[in-house]
Structure 1
Amino acid sequence: MTFTVRAPASSANLGPGFDSLGLSVPLFTTLRVTPQATTEVVPLGPDLDGTPADESNYVYQAMLLAARRVGRPLPPARIEIETEVPLARGLGSSAAALVAGIVAGNELLGRPLNDETVLDVAAREEGHPDNVAPALFGGIVVATLDKLGTHYVRLAPPAHLGVTVLVPDFELSTSKARAVLPKEYSRADAVHALSHAALLAAALAQGRLDLLRHAMQDYIHQTWRAPLVPGLSDILEGAWRHGALGAALSGAGPTVLCFHDTREPTAGLHTYLHSVMTKNGLTGRVMDFPIDEAGTVVERGAHTCS
């Protein structure tokens, strides 16, 4: 029987929560999987132009990860792929594809892996859990990866917390964004990161929206990546004056995330973010979203990818 897997985009780090904190955003990568005698991989839509239409496709390789963890061959199927997640923009496009693929492979195999094992497979493939955990579970997730496993706490989004994202019209690879980071940090920067990450997690857990602007300060990665994202420094320092509760580089960028209070209008924040883009000769989109709470969803039946 055909089934559909839908995995959301995600925004990682949220400032100081480097490689350990993220939330899910309702833009989706969707797989439609139909068991059949031979394997077909079918990317759909202009956003996936140029992606492999064979077993080298990242989604299919992710499905194989589930089979390898179980120690069984992956049954053949037709896999249709489409996505709403902008590629190489810091919104977890690879994590959504990875999680959707592992979950789809697990479904084909009869669900031998539980959610915690799916997360561990995904986190070890990515090297960190900050995108894959919210892509799998939805909401806001604090997660760590170590030799003993992948450990996480899922937080329900605080009341009235919304997300505004600025998605510039240029790509920034994660490898390039990681290459600019220093190999060592001072004790002061380490203490700053630890204290602010702890405050951010606590503020999100208790719904302390008033603390987000202070808790989201970061010297571990945003300072070093700012030259790669024109206007980022201005937004991090000034967005709160235009209605943002806090601002951060989304993942490795170039997308910038701002929190807002859903009881307040966001028109002023949108105008400000567009003005920063214009000042820096950039174009892009500004969008408001709720935090996705469902995470990855599997549906069985004749749903089709459009």
Structure 2
Amino acid sequence: MTGLPFSAVRVTVPASTANLGSGFDTLAMALSLYDTVSARVVDGTAGSARVAVVGQGADAVPTDERHLVVRVIHKALAELGFPAPALRLHCQNAIPHARGLGSSAAAIVAGVAAGFGLAGFDLRDKENADRALQLAAVWEGHADNAAASLLGGFVIAWQESGRFHAVRTQPHPDLAPIVLVPQAESATHTTRGLLPEQVPHADAAFAASRAALAVHAITSDPSLLLAATDDRLHQDYREPAWPETIALVRRLRAAGIPAAVSGAGPTVLAFPPGGVLPGDVAANGFDAVRLPVDQTGVRVVPQT
């Protein structure tokens, strides 16, 4: 017996876009594209799992206890004082993998949320949410994407004294994000390897000013987004990995459209006024998808 208060939960978790220009590892936003995980405790060997996956990554992820969501559920339950049960999962994935839309963070948040849900810990409670964020961010290595998927809306994340923190702020209602998604996949560790150990002082000052401006633009004045999403901190360094992505960002910005690399790429994030991209900007090889800001974050529903 596991002693868990609930035997099954259904978790819905949004995608996210991080950095938003110069807000490297700090600024992120939840987007209305969702993975759904149904997790049920079943009879079987403790710690074992059977996983059915439909949609993104269906043929590329483990279908047993090695699956990322299962491993995170077991980790979350251990942190909450419960042994690892046998699990059956059904994953309906809509978030593209390795495209800069927070698929790994979404999976981690889904696992943490499922563990908390099975254990009867309500994530609407701030103390529980803070604890969940810490677990997710430690696993992910940074808090921006995880915080956005957990809390929804627009988040500011930081690390202090070895702990991760985030605050949620309300994005302006006129924001109309569009993501331009290529077929190529990314590996965050590879693109991070392109970043220099040091940047010029002028570039650091530029990044600080634009990240601060982005908070104001996203929450209060979207007319400032073109300036606010400019970057000298990381995007150009990643051009060797994603030349088409950087070229598209530059074309959009030259046309007056606020645009930036989404996370580590190769997806491009744009904020065209009215949510409509100009027809004269070439975006061959990219699928444009309008994704409103998700306002809720992860949702956990106990199942019978």
Q: TM-score, normalised by structure 1?
A: 0.89
Are residue 196 (structure 1) and residue 210 (structure 2) matched? yes
Are residue 61 (structure 1) and residue 74 (structure 2) matched? no
* Structure 1 CA distance for aligned equivalents of residues 88 and 239 of structure 2: 42
Deviations 1:106-139 (A, max 9, x none): 1122228701100011111111111000000111
Q: 2:17 aligns with which of 11, 20, 25?
A: 11
Structure 1 position 252, deviation (Å): 0.3
* Structure 2 CA distance for aligned equivalents of residues 23 and 105 of structure 1: 24
Q: Which amino acid aligns with 1:297?
A: R
Where 2:77 maps in the other structure, the secondary structure is helix
2:172 equivalent in structure 1: 158
* Structure 2 CA distance for aligned equivalents of residues 235 and 50 of structure 1: 29
Structure 1 position 154, deviation (Å): 0.8
**Residues 166 and 285 in structure 1, CA contact (< 8 A), matched pair in contact too:** yes
Where 1:16 maps in the other structure, the secondary structure is coil
**Residues 43 and 49 in structure 1, CA contact (< 8 A), matched pair in contact too:** no
Are residue 249 (structure 1) and residue 261 (structure 2) matched? yes
* Structure 2 CA distance for aligned equivalents of residues 50 and 193 of structure 1: 37
Unaligned runs of 5+ in 2: 1-6
* Structure 2 CA distance for aligned equivalents of residues 198 and 62 of structure 1: 33
Where 1:125 maps in the other structure, the secondary structure is helix
Taking only the aligned residue pairs, the percentage that are identical comes to 37
Q: 1:45 aligns with which of 47, 54, 65?
A: 54
1:290 equivalent in structure 2: 292
Q: Which amino acid aligns with 2:75?
A: L
Are residue 33 (structure 1) and residue 39 (structure 2) matched? yes
Q: Hey, which of these two has a bigger chunk of helix by percent? A: 1
2:3 equivalent in structure 1: none
Structure 1 position 151, deviation (Å): 2.1
Aligned 1:107-146 pairs, distance under 5 A? 107-111=117-121, 114-146=128-160
2:83 equivalent in structure 1: 73
**Residues 18 and 27 in structure 2, CA contact (< 8 A), matched pair in contact too:** yes
Distance change in 2, residues 1:195/1:203 (3 Å): same
* Structure 1 CA distance for aligned equivalents of residues 121 and 262 of structure 2: 32
Task: Select between 251-260 and 235-244 the one with higher mean Cα deviation.
Answer: 235-244
Deviations 1:5-56 (A, max 9, x none): 0111100000101001100111111111122212433132252213111111
Structure 1 position 74, deviation (Å): 2.6
Where 2:271 maps in the other structure, the secondary structure is strand
* Structure 2 CA distance for aligned equivalents of residues 216 and 52 of structure 1: 37
CA RMSD of aligned residues (A): 1.9
Structure 1 position 72, deviation (Å): 2.8
1:280 equivalent in structure 2: none
* Structure 2 CA distance for aligned equivalents of residues 257 and 46 of structure 1: 23
**Residues 153 and 171 in structure 2, CA contact (< 8 A), matched pair in contact too:** yes
Q: 1:96 aligns with which of 106, 112, 116?
A: 106
Structure 1 position 71, deviation (Å): 3.5
Q: Which amino acid aligns with 2:221?
A: R
Distance change in 2, residues 1:35/1:233 (3 Å): closer
Are residue 238 (structure 1) and residue 248 (structure 2) matched? no
Q: TM-score, normalised by structure 2?
A: 0.89
